[in-house]
Amino acid sequence: MKSLKIALLVGALCLSGVVHAGANDPLFINMTTDDDHRSTMAIGFGLKQHGLGHGLTLFLNDKGVVLASKANAAKYAMQQKTLADIIAKGGTVIVCPMCMKHYGVKEADLLPGLKLGTPELTGAALFKDNTKTLTW
């Protein structure tokens, strides 16, 4: 038992290396929420980091897809404005098509500039070298 504890401790120490973000490392935010505060935080944080030089991909999935719909403009006006700012400044916003179907979001209702997710598009952003990820 003692040797197992030592092995686990050594393994944890080996895996606990400090990760440093480079000045321009890309950021991939996985946003699963339609909560007003949490979505505002996720989108706003992404925009601020993009302004500091980090490439930004915001992936709207699960309940996050409802923010992508023009049909929800009244409820999510602030978030939709910030999404438009991200796109205007060269960031990428990807929307999960399976989640859209689940929550009844139509492709024709997507805000201008948002991209329909595919494994290739989403994977390319997520697995780009030095990408850092966050989830809200």
Query: How confident is the model at residue 22, as a pLDDT?
Result: 78
Query: How confident is the model at residue 126, as a pLDDT?
Result: 97
Name the 3-class secondary structure at 95: strand
CB 39 within 8 A of CB 33: yes
Query: How confident is the model at residue 19, as a pLDDT?
Result: 52
Query: How confident is the model at residue 117, as a pLDDT?
Result: 98
Return averaged pLDDT per consecutive 10 residues of the chain, 136 residues in all: 54 52 90 97 97 97 98 97 98 98 97 98 97 95
42: tokens are: 């996720």
Q: Rounded to an integer, what distance in angstroms lies between the CA atom of residue 8 and that of residue 18?
A: 18
What domains lie within the chain, and their CATH numbers? Answer: 21-135 (3.40.1260.10)
Start-end of H helices in 22-129: 36-51, 77-88, 97-103, 119-126
